[in-house]
């Protein structure tokens, strides 16, 4: 037997559905407006971060991609012995306004790590691989965000194709001798005599204690640092073949120091919009190394903050706000 529809119940359900729809549209509108109008570190976009892979010059390169490809492009170049994961606190904020590519270099993270006999581990070569990845992705102009090892890679990319560079953000990346403090004594000795000083170099650079010190430096706020950071990095460095790879690559670091005058001259000539954010508690790169950028480049702003070698470890909100403000003024 059929029953007559209950008009009162149907009306109640329709009203409930309309209220829910209006509430959803209102929430969605507010979310979009917040993402589009805010440069504050509170605006984030975690949805849609993609983990991809590309073959570049015969090497499998892992990279993260986030944000709309129609937006301005940012290339994030990580430090040592980190990976694209070091940007995990930054990418969701940048992705609200920018298109992000964050690769792992050959021999790092989830990218392939051919032996030093099959791949030349030099900063020239890694920069060439990163430049080729950018070209393969169809990116013609971009902003570099670089930290530590990302500095020598980023400078090489910029000088090889200066018309491609819209701006540079640098976190604790050395380009001046003043940055190289006492911790570099063992490293300089290795450059002079690699065989005699290999063991001392590996203790200074590749040990668990070195990985921890690289993060916490001289900070009084050790409790703000996630121990997983240096434990994960140390685990990567202890995979088969990694000690040889990173010893070989660090031997080439001497050519970065020799290149400092060339990079400084390029900054004086090109004068790209630039932001330097430097953690004062860094023992890998002394804070004095932060001062030269603005002397050579009048379009550089420098921020010394209470953080370590990886500024995002201790002051993620401050760093995100600084970067978003800089980018909003220059892109």
- DSSP codes of every residue in 172-213: S---SGGG--GGGHHHHHHHH-HHHHHHHHHHHHHSHHHHHH
Section 132-152 average pLDDT: 98
42: three-class secondary structure by DSSP: coil
First to last CA, the chain: 69
Structural domain contains residue 37: no
Structural domain contains residue 187: no
Q: Tokens standing for 42?
A: 């509170």
Structural domain contains residue 73: yes
Least confident piece of the model among 7-11, 214-218, 267-271? 7-11
Least confident piece of the model among 12-26, 101-115, 303-317? 12-26
For residue 34, pLDDT beyond 80: no
At residue 43 the predicted structure's pLDDT band, cuts being 50, 70 and 90, is: confident
Q: How far apart are CA 183 and CA 309, in angstroms?
A: 13
What CATH number is attached to the domain comprising 164? 3.40.50.1820
Q: How far apart are CA 319 and CA 89, in angstroms?
A: 10
Residue among 78, 215, 246, 309 flagged as catalytic: 309
Structural domain contains residue 195: no
Handedness of CA 311, 312, 318, 319 (dihedral sign): positive
pLDDT value of position 115? 97
Structural domain contains residue 250: no
Structural domain contains residue 8: no
Torsion of CA 288, 289, 291, 293, to 10 degrees: 180
Q: How far apart are CA 315 and CA 279, in angstroms?
A: 9
pLDDT value of position 45? 85
273: three-class secondary structure by DSSP: coil
pLDDT value of position 41? 55
User: What is the percent of the chain with per-residue pLDDT over 70, rounded to a whole number?
Assistant: 87
> 170-211 pLDDT, tens per residue?
999 999 999 999 999 999 999 999 999 999 999 999 999 999
Output 158 or 28, whichever has higher pLDDT: 158
For residue 23, pLDDT beyond 50: no
For residue 42, pLDDT beyond 60: no
For residue 266, pLDDT beyond 70: yes
Number of domains into which the chain is organized:
1
pLDDT value of position 40? 55
For residue 29, pLDDT beyond 90: no
Burial profile 256-269: b = 16 or more Cβ within 10 angstroms, e = fewer: bbebbeebbebbee
Structural domain contains residue 90: yes
Output 30 or 215, whichever has higher pLDDT: 215
pLDDT value of position 22? 37
Decide if 309 is catalytic. Answer: yes
Domain that holds residue 108: 43-180+256-330
- Is pTM beyond 0.75? Reply is yes
> 90-135 pLDDT, tens per residue?
999 999 999 999 999 999 999 999 999 999 999 999 999 999 999 9
Structural domain contains residue 111: yes
């Amino acid at each position: 037997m059929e029953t007559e529809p209950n008009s009162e119940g149907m009306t109640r359900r329709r009203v409930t559905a309309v209220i829910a729809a209006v509430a959803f549209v209102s929430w969605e509108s507010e979310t979009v407006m917040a993402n589009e109008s805010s440069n504050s570190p509170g605006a984030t976009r975690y949805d849609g971060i993609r983990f991809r892979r590309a073959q570049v010059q015969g090497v499998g390169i892992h990279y993260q991609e986030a944000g709309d490809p129609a937006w301005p492009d940012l290339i994030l170049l990580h430090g040592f012995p980190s990976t694209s994961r070091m940007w995990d606190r930054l990418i969701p904020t940048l992705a609200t306004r920018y298109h992000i590519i964050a690769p792992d270099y050959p021999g790092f993270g989830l990218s392939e790590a051919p032996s030093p006999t099959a791949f030349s581990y030099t900063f020239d070569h890694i920069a060439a691989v990163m430049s080729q990845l950018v070209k393969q992705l169809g990116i013609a102009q971009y902003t570099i965000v670089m930290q530590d090892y990302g500095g020598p890679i980023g400078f090489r990319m910029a000088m090889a194709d200066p018309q491609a560079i819209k701006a540079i953000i640098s976190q604790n990346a050395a380009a001046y001798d003043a940055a190289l403090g006492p911790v570099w004594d063992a490293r300089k000795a290795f450059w002079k005599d690699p065989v005699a000083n290999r063991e001392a170099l590996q203790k200074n650079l590749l040990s668990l204690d070195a990985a921890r010190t690289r993060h916490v430096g001289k900070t009084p706020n050790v409790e703000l640092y996630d121990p997983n950071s240096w434990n994960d990095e140390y685990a990567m460095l202890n995979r088969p073949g990694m000690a040889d790879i990173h010893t070989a690559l660090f031997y080439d670091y001497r050519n970065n120091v020799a290149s400092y005058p060339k990079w400084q001259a390029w900054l004086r000539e090109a004068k790209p919009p630039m932001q330097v954010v430097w953690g004062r508690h860094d023992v890998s790169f002394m804070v004095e190394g932060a001062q030269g950028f603005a002397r050579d480049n009048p379009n550089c702003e420098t921020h010394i903050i209470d953080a370590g070698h990886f500024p995002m470890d201790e002051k993620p909100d401050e760093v995100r706000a600084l970067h978003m403000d800089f980018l909003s003024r220059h892109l």
